[in-house]
Amino acid sequence: ETGVTQSPTHLIKTRGQQVTLRCSSQSGHNTVSWYQQALGQGPQFIFQYYREEENGRGNFPPRFSGLQFPNYSSELNVNALELDDSALYLCASSLEAGELDTQYFGPGTRLTVL
Amino acid sequence: KQEVTQIPAALSVPEGENLVLNCSFTDSAIYNLQWFRQDPGKGLTSLLLIQSSQREQTSGRLNASLDKSSGRSTLYIAASQPGDSATYLCAVNSGYSTLTFGKGTMLLVSP
């Protein structure tokens, strides 16, 4: 059991709406990363937060944004939802942002955009 | 830009067989490589992590090897069981603990 939790488990939205996904990292983990996994694909890196600051970003548009809070929780916000945003969203936490830090993944949130 | 490829995309074997899953990556400047298991619709379970200075790691019936210079890793599963049926993902860490994943190998082990 990794100790990383995500909510909600499943979510259905319509195109153009906004959504907030939540992640609770393991206690003491200062880094959280978010990934998008489309059906039949490997996870794609969205962005990473370290001590409440964005610490790296993948090839995703600005309508994907995030927040990290001092209590080891974080959010992924997606504005103006598109059909292609339908995917499994995974968060992963690690102690620090160093090269040797192991990431621990949560169970994911399945987002469906209609 | 790092790219990770996994072969085969799908594999079906009878119970008891030994099998090998392959992973290749284009940029050998990695810090570590990790193998994950993913059950349908679920999150990722880490199986093995190999640091760049290591050649292999073992856990039970699983053995993963890494040849960083050639950009290759293999995951060996001994005496496969139906419970091993899942998608296996390979991911490389090229810095700042962000991972680049392959598309996975979908494994089906039949009784």
| CA separation, residue A100 to residues A8, A21, A28, A103, B83 (Å) | 30, 27, 16, 9, 30
Q: Is beta strand A31-37 parallel, antiparallel or unpaired with respect to A19-24?
A: unpaired
Residue B22: φ, ψ to 5°: -115, 145
Spell out which residues of chain A touch residue B34, defining contact as CB-CB under 8 Å.
102
Mean pLDDT computed over B22-29: 95
pLDDT tens, residue by residue, A76-99 = 999 999 999 999 999 999 887 666
| CA separation, residue A45 to residues A30, A34, A42, A56 (Å) | 18, 6, 10, 9
Q: What is the DSSP letter of A96?
A: S
A53 has which bridge partners?
Answer: A50
pLDDT band at B97 (very low <50, low <70, confident <90, very high): low
Mean pLDDT rounded to a whole number for chain A? 92
Q: How many CB pairs under 8 A join A and B?
A: 69
d(CA A112, CA A14): 8
Cβ of residue A24 closer than 8 Å to a chain B Cβ: no
Cβ pair B41:A55 closer than 8 A: no
Spell out which residues of chain A touch residue B46, defining contact as CB-CB under 8 Å.
102, 104-105
Is a pLDDT exceeding 70 seen at residue A100? Answer: no
Residue A76's identity, in one-letter code, is: L
Could you tell me which of A84, A82, A89 has the C-alpha nearest to residue A47? A89
